[in-house]
Structure 1
Amino acid sequence: MPAAAQDGPIKPFKDDLFSRQAVLETRDSGAYDVIDYQEMRDINGRDRVPERRVKDAYVSLGVRRHQENETLNLPENRKLDVTRVGQMEGASFTVIFIHGRGGDRRLGANDYTFGGNFNRLKNLAVNNGGTYYSPSVTSFDDKGVADIAALIRYAFDRSSRRPVILACASMGGFICQGVSRDAETVHYLKGMALLGGPPDAGLPKTPLAKLKLPIYFAHGSADGVYKAEEQAAIYRKLGSAGYPTRFTLFQTGSHGTPIRMVDWRKVLNFLLTAG
């Protein structure tokens, strides 16, 4: 059956192309979904040039009018290169996407790669009065965590204390792990999305978890970098304690599948309304 429409403040955008994913199995009263993923359909059938350029129907390029490359001057003499999509001040919500190893701010702002999924995210943000940041993370250690913590506070202040969501993909998950342990920064967050990231057995005991900030997991079942079952075990531990969390498993999906296939409208509506 197709995934149900997602209720919440984020209005539909190209839902017929991105949100009508076939659900193979549902558990935990809908909190855990197994999604049908097929490479021939979801890459070769969706892209004009596989993994390089999606078909035109999947993108809407008018959003580029709201896009700027900036170097932010953050506290403690931190300079951070970002792509910002949306208004500089007064956003109704903010999404910050953290790339994995070898990426930079261009990855999360590319309209044509990953099946057009970042173009959809940018449009969802702008069409709903939000702002989207794709920063360049120079290291996945304490310095990188501190840079993103400063960006979270910056976005929180610029939006007059409205919700800030942090989404981390692949190795970028180490940034989410560090932020989850920052007892000050978690107070500026509304929720977190972990896309094909490294399992964090200590997550249930972090300051972020103590605040019960909602967490959305998405993973490929055939991920050869970080095992899906190890991530699912953390989801189950959180869920058994009544924690606001969701898990989407892409059946046969590989390490990069969640970035291509995750339904951003579903993610944002859950994180903005849960907890």
Structure 2
Amino acid sequence: MSTVHFVFGTVIALLSTLATVRAEAQEGPIKPFKDELFSQMTVQKSLDGGAYEVIDYQEMRDINGRDREPERRVKDEYVSLGVRRYQQNETLDLSGRRLDVTRVGQADGAAFTVIFIHGRGGDRRLGVNDYTFGGNFNRLKNLTVGNGGIYYSPSVTSFDAQGVADIAALIRYAFDRSSGRPVILACASMGGFICQGISRDEQAVRHLKGMAQLGGPPDPDLAKSRLAKHRLPIYFAHGGSDSVYKSQDQEAVYRKLKAARYPTRFTLFATGSHGTPIRMVDWRKVLNFLLTSP
């Protein structure tokens, strides 16, 4: 091999290594956790520079092949239970509003906060169940606590103004306890009505960093909300065959935002049902996007 070829090959290898380092650095501050099990999904379609993705979803593989008991208990390799030692049930007194929550992580000084809102029929137990939904909540807990954050799963008693006020108080509480560090709100299914209400609350928006909507109801006026005026990033995830809230309606909201160059992403799970986003969404990708978007 000539010296010229050797030098050229070395330069190419170095550039390749640097490109890889840069790509990893751009992903965000959340370190990998079981990515080989949760993040290796096949992208069937990608648009908008990767902001819009259609993910291959197959029930036989992603439920029956992943769970020991389908939809009841995931296989053991998908969970790490050490995070339970940081988990505690609490009833918070939020300026006269009492709210039952499960907290995972240290209450003070968190690097960031994640608040998950369940849908109809749920309570605080749903968002901390290690074994259901393919172990995805166990991963979320580990990603949050393992990166210095704190996770709250509250019991929402109503999906109206009362429920919105309770979560607005929790957002402010988390913001203050972390000395103003980022607070992320994620809403699933009917819990999306809480996200909609929060998006109109100026004070709550001022204490938020970003929002995720998982299989939630479409909000045609989201682009006019206080949240949108502050240009807080929004991540949508939806099942392609959702019979409760049609994916096309939620995608229309995304398209309106994207046309305005808004910081947003949309992940569609092809053939996925209403509950698919809770099971399949890549929480590391969601958190990194919401935490790093300007």
TM-score bucket of the superposed structures, by smaller chain:
over 0.9
Partner of 2:193: 174
In the alignment, structure 1 residue 210 sits paired with structure 2 residue 229:
yes
Which one of the candidate residues 33, 38, 56 is aligned to 2:58? 38
In the alignment, structure 1 residue 69 sits paired with structure 2 residue 89:
yes
Q: Which runs of 5+ in 2 are unaligned?
A: 1-22
Deviation at 1:151, TM superposition (A): 0.1
Partner of 1:274: 293
Which one of the candidate residues 249, 267, 282 is aligned to 1:230? 249
Distance, in Å, in 1 between the alignment partners of 2:106 and 2:30 is 17
Supply the AA of the counterpart residue of 1:39: E
Partner of 1:162: 181
Structure having the higher helix fraction is 2
1:145-156 superposed matches below 5 A: 145-156=164-175
Supply the AA of the counterpart residue of 1:90: G
Partner of 2:77: 57
Secondary structure of the structure 1 residue equivalent to 2:29: coil
Deviation at 1:261, TM superposition (A): 0.2
Secondary structure of the structure 1 residue equivalent to 2:93: strand
Deviation per residue, 1:121-153 (Å, 9 max, x gap)? 000011000000000000000000000000000
Share of identical aligned residues, percent?
Answer: 79
Which one of the candidate residues 268, 277, 284 is aligned to 1:258? 277
Supply the AA of the counterpart residue of 1:220: G
Partner of 1:219: 238
Which one of the candidate residues 102, 113, 116 is aligned to 1:94? 113
Partner of 2:213: 194
Deviation per residue, 1:212-234 (Å, 9 max, x gap)? 00000000000000000000001
Normalised by the length of structure 1, the TM-score is 0.98
Deviation per residue, 1:27-82 (Å, 9 max, x gap)? 0010000000000000000000000000000000000000000000001x110000
In the alignment, structure 1 residue 18 sits paired with structure 2 residue 68:
no
Which one of the candidate residues 105, 127, 130 is aligned to 1:111? 130
1:244-255 superposed matches below 5 A: 244-255=263-274
Normalised by the length of structure 2, the TM-score is 0.91
Q: Which runs of 5+ in 1 are unaligned?
A: none
Deviation at 1:183, TM superposition (A): 1.1
Deviation per residue, 1:86-106 (Å, 9 max, x gap)? 010000000000000000000
Distance, in Å, in 1 between the alignment partners of 2:161 and 2:142 is 32
Deviation at 1:184, TM superposition (A): 1.2
Distance, in Å, in 1 between the alignment partners of 2:203 and 2:257 is 22
Secondary structure of the structure 1 residue equivalent to 2:243: coil
CA RMSD of aligned residues (A): 0.9
Distance, in Å, in 1 between the alignment partners of 2:91 and 2:181 is 22
Secondary structure of the structure 2 residue equivalent to 1:68: strand
Name segments (4+ residues, structure 1) moved above 3 Å.
none
Distance, in Å, in 1 between the alignment partners of 2:218 and 2:27 is 29
Which one of the candidate residues 95, 104, 114 is aligned to 1:85? 104
Secondary structure of the structure 2 residue equivalent to 1:184: helix
Partner of 1:143: 162
Partner of 2:10: none
Distance, in Å, in 2 between the alignment partners of 1:120 and 1:94 is 15
Distance, in Å, in 1 between the alignment partners of 2:172 and 2:215 is 25
Distance, in Å, in 2 between the alignment partners of 1:159 and 1:243 is 27
Larger Rg: 2
Supply the AA of the counterpart residue of 2:73: R
